[in-house]
Structure 1
Amino acid sequence: MLTLFHAPKSRSTRMLWLLEELGAPYEVRKVTIRRRDGVGEPDFANPHPHGQVPALLDDGVLITESAAIALYLTDKYRDTPIGPAVGDPTRGPYLTWLAYYAGVLEPVITARFTGRNGEDEDRSYEIMDAQLKGALEKGPWLLGDHFSAADILFISLLQFARQMLPPHAVYDDWVARAQARPALARAIQKDDA
């Protein structure tokens, strides 16, 4: 049985969405986390080494970090199409987008919106925006016609903070397409249940 350690209205909500998309059996264990505004306390029941979420236990194996959990789950549940299998021509782009989210998008966005940006960071933001916008203009998803767990990672950021990316219609349309997905509606219902 999969156990998702979850704090409502946090990055673990994206894993609820992914688990719903996969149709995987899972249980949720709510934990508290320290929020950016200083509210909340670390929860000793949370196995994440930094006291954050998401954290996933699968038969005693701990997986943390959103991109790692997304890859783990989409490899484990091969019967669903949201994570291309090894040998699929979209596997490379899929892995690239998972890594791009964690290695490029989050650091660039964090630098920009915490005021720790200079000329290099501004240029990185522009390059990131062009890369993402270009992929979606070919879209409608990051992998073209194929919705994937990579879309979940990126869109989950935009659901909470749409202003973190420039006001392009392609981003708004992407979020609207995602919000029409039944699995997302189920995840939102479970987020604070």
Structure 2
Amino acid sequence: MLTLYHAPHSRSTSILVLIEEMGIAEHIDVIEVTVARQDGSGRADPRNPHPEGKVPYLTDGADHLRERGAIITYLTDRFPETGMGRPEGDPQRGAFLSWLFYYQGVMEPVLVLNWAKLDHAAVRTTFRDLETVVDRLADALDGRPYLLGDRYSAVDLLLSSPFQWLPDAAPKQPAVADWIRRCADRPAMQVVAERESAGLTV
């Protein structure tokens, strides 16, 4: 059975939303663990097999996965009938993977560096800047509701996720702001938010 190691109100919450969207909760055992938090609270949990004590972490027998992009790819490939991914052979497979890697390799570093107010030419040339990231999203959303077209997918969930946590940092460009609202209004997002507020995992 698949096992997800999760800490409430963390990056792994987006994987719970994905599981809810896909309707695959019966296939995944969710184990709640503690993690070290930015404010100094919390600690690494010895029950968590992640080598750095972070979440999310997914195990499937002897196979272990870390990083949300990898976990999203694994789950959407494992359960292609849910429609949240783009399986091999799908004409949008390349776009799907590109957005997942763009988030991990460009968007999240830019958001964290911007939040920390760190700026350097090497950062801008390697990762781009926040304005460029927002422009990229706006271009992709021009004339369509989601990053891959008319259908919501796991890339929308992942790339909109930081703005669910930090709504004050959400871009003001209309196409991007509307997309963030559409993603936030998904029933799965509401269900998981209510569960976590009530102290429930599943």
TM bin, normalised by shorter chain, reads over 0.9
Counterpart residue type for residue 181 of structure 1: R
What TM-score do you get using the length of structure 1 for normalisation? 0.92
Match of 1:36 among 31, 35, 38: 38
Contact 1:57 1:63 survives alignment (8 Å): yes
> Does 30-39 or 161-170 show the bigger shift?
161-170
Shift of 1:78: 1.1
Match of 2:159 among 143, 154, 157: 154
Question: Which residue number corresponds to residue 89 of structure 2?
Answer: 87
Shift of 1:23: 1.1
C-alpha separation in 2, matches of 1:124 and 1:171: 16
Question: Which residue number corresponds to residue 136 of structure 2?
Answer: 131
Question: Cα deviation per residue 1:85-106 (whole Å; 9 max; x = unaligned)?
Answer: 1111111110000000000001
Shift of 1:165: 4.2
C-alpha separation in 2, matches of 1:157 and 1:16: 15
Counterpart residue type for residue 185 of structure 2: A
CA RMSD, Structure 1 to Structure 2 (Å): 1.7
C-alpha separation in 1, matches of 2:90 and 2:64: 27
- In the alignment of these two chains, the number of paired residues is 193
Contact 2:164 2:184 survives alignment (8 Å): no
Greater relative contact order (Cα < 8 A, sep 6+): 1
Shift of 1:120: 5.6
Question: Cα deviation per residue 1:11-70 (whole Å; 9 max; x = unaligned)?
Answer: 010000001111112222110000111111110101111111101122342111100000
Counterpart residue type for residue 68 of structure 1: A
C-alpha separation in 1, matches of 2:23 and 2:107: 28
Contact 1:129 1:165 survives alignment (8 Å): no
Where structure 1 has 5 or more consecutive residues not aligned to the other structure, the ranges are none
Contact 1:112 1:121 survives alignment (8 Å): no
What is the identity percentage for the equivalent residue pairs of Structure 1 and Structure 2? Answer: 41
- Secondary structure at the aligned position of 1:63 is classed as strand
C-alpha separation in 2, matches of 1:57 and 1:35: 23
- Secondary structure at the aligned position of 2:59 is classed as strand
Contact 1:54 1:64 survives alignment (8 Å): yes
- Secondary structure at the aligned position of 2:80 is classed as coil
Matches within 5 A, 1:13-162: 13-24=13-24, 25=26, 26-119=28-121, 121=123, 124-162=129-167
Question: Which residue number corresponds to residue 178 of structure 2?
Answer: 173
Q: 1:129 to 1:106 in 2, by over 3 A?
A: same
Question: Which residue number corresponds to residue 190 of structure 2?
Answer: 185
Contact 1:32 1:42 survives alignment (8 Å): yes
What TM-score do you get using the length of structure 2 for normalisation? 0.88
Q: Answer yes or no: is 1:164 the counterpart of 2:198.
A: no
